[in-house]
Amino acid sequence: MLMISIPLATLLLSTWLAPSKRLWEVITTQSLIIAIMSTAWLTTQEINPFLNNYLTVDEISSPLLVLTCWLTAPTLLASQSKLSKEPIPRQRTYIFTIIMLQITTLLAFLADNMILFFIMFEATMIPTLIVITRWGAQKERMLAGTYLIFYTLFGSMALLTALLYFHETFGTMSISLTKSLFVDYTLSTCSSTWWVACLVAFLVKMPLYGLHLWLPKAHVEAPIAGSMILAGTLLKLGGYGILRMNIFVSDSFLPLAKPLIVFSLFGVLLSAILCSRQTDLKSMIAFSSVSHMGLVIAASLIKTEWSIVGSMVLMISHGLVSSALFCLANISYERSNTRTLMLLQGTQIVFPLAAAWWLLAALMNLALPPSPNFIGEMSILVSLFQWSNLTLILTGLGIIFTTAYSLYMFWASQREHLPTHLNSFPPMQTREHILLTLHILPALLLMLKPTLMF
């Protein structure tokens, strides 16, 4: 634990103490070192899962912890071009807020006690809200922040009540202790309400289609760092929470989950169709997240070995690919000052290497074999098909529309003729190529050993 906590404390100090001329280089280098050190978590859960009485690393949390640490450096790299023009105190405040957001997310994934997890789960909202409302580019950012807060608080009150009820009944909130505790319920109105209360906060966070209205607004109004962290790690808190609550919820609740599984699959299809008619690039990528997370919700509720493996793999790969897509959207936006697809067409002529990055990210997003997205989706589809043969219709249509909007996104933003209003395009910087390499290379390397995420 000290191996990571000491560098993180140093990182927070460096934000205020580093010389202003070398601020971004120092912080980015330190966060890259922390990311490399965090890969040790992929092996430690087998040897010594308990760090102390309150924090633990196991096979579910370790890949998500590594993902959170890994995305810190790209987040800072992506923000550098816009923020470096602002006064130094504001730059330091921005970096400090981003690092605090990543630390609270790490503590949420590390928590062994569900009440501690709940506190950290809620604490992530404060830095997210500050980033969106303070550094968002448009006037609607305050409304986006309001949506985010009210949707999250609505689900969180129910979750806190459910956790207090469980603690009152069984006397513990420890995840590791509950694994050895046999918990069974008779289905009644009270227990059914408790089951819904356990899940609603995580379904809002994922988000489930129908509870997703805050996400496109937050993504469109957020600066690039906000979008990357939202897509990369914060949505994963919802999936992680559902997997953790599965320990507390017995299999007797599985009949209750049937309508929810079917609805989430309809959500996959509907959000994929909605993607196909978006005109804003960031909004399209945000709706694609809703579509992918619908599959994770369905898989997490089925609770078979294959479904849990699939949901873990899909969460990790989605974190990398979706974050890369937001980076590419930001690169286009910084040069053209627009996110409208019709006004971005033809940029492949000017930036052929950027078009190659777009193609790689789009193909991974549509789950082309043997990408990690494909491995995750295939595992989920197999478990869904075993659960019910009829799910093949919904998932099949979902895959068709996912392929359609991913290819449409690439074609609309890269192909055709360059618009006449775009007179000058600054060349792509080495920093931006490094940024995209940090996203795409891990996803390509995971194809060689996907068991790291199992």
Domain ranges of the chain: 1-248, 250-453
Instruction: Write down the pLDDT at residue 290.
Output: 93
Instruction: Write down the pLDDT at residue 268.
Output: 94
User: The tokens 């898989």 sit on which residue?
Assistant: 299
Angle between helical axes of 61-70 and 88-110 (0-180°, round to 10): 170
Given a contact cutoff of 8 angstroms between Cβ atoms, the answer to whether 286 and 412 are in contact is no
Please enumerate in sequence order all residues whose Cβ is within 8 A of that of 18, keeping only pairs 6 or more positions apart, or say none.
Answer: 26, 27
Where does 337-371 have alpha helices with state H?
341-344, 352-365
Instruction: Write down the pLDDT at residue 1.
Output: 61
Instruction: Write down the pLDDT at residue 45.
Output: 53
Instruction: Write down the pLDDT at residue 8.
Output: 86
Instruction: Write down the pLDDT at residue 192.
Output: 82
Instruction: Write down the pLDDT at residue 49.
Output: 59
Please enumerate in sequence order all residues whose Cβ is within 8 A of that of 120, keeping only pairs 6 or more positions apart, or say none.
Answer: 104, 105, 107, 108, 111
3-state secondary structure (DSSP) of residue 113: strand
- Judged on CB neighbours under 10 Å (0-12, 13-18, 19+), 343 is middle
Torsion angles phi and psi, residue 56, rounded to 5? -150, 155
Instruction: Write down the pLDDT at residue 291.
Output: 93
Instruction: Write down the pLDDT at residue 450.
Output: 78
Weakly modelled stretches of the chain, pLDDT under 50: 47
Instruction: Write down the pLDDT at residue 204.
Output: 92
User: Angle 45-49-50 (CA atoms, 0-180°, nearest 5)?
Assistant: 155
Residue ranges of E strands in 319-413? none
Torsion angles phi and psi, residue 71, rounded to 5? -80, -5
What is the CB neighbour count within 10 angstroms for residue 12? 15
> What is d(CA 279, CA 284) in angstroms, rounded to the nearest whole number?
7
Given a contact cutoff of 8 angstroms between Cβ atoms, the answer to whether 187 and 109 are in contact is no
Instruction: Write down the pLDDT at residue 46.
Output: 52
Given a contact cutoff of 8 angstroms between Cβ atoms, the answer to whether 295 and 397 are in contact is no
Instruction: Write down the pLDDT at residue 186.
Output: 64
Instruction: Write down the pLDDT at residue 344.
Output: 82
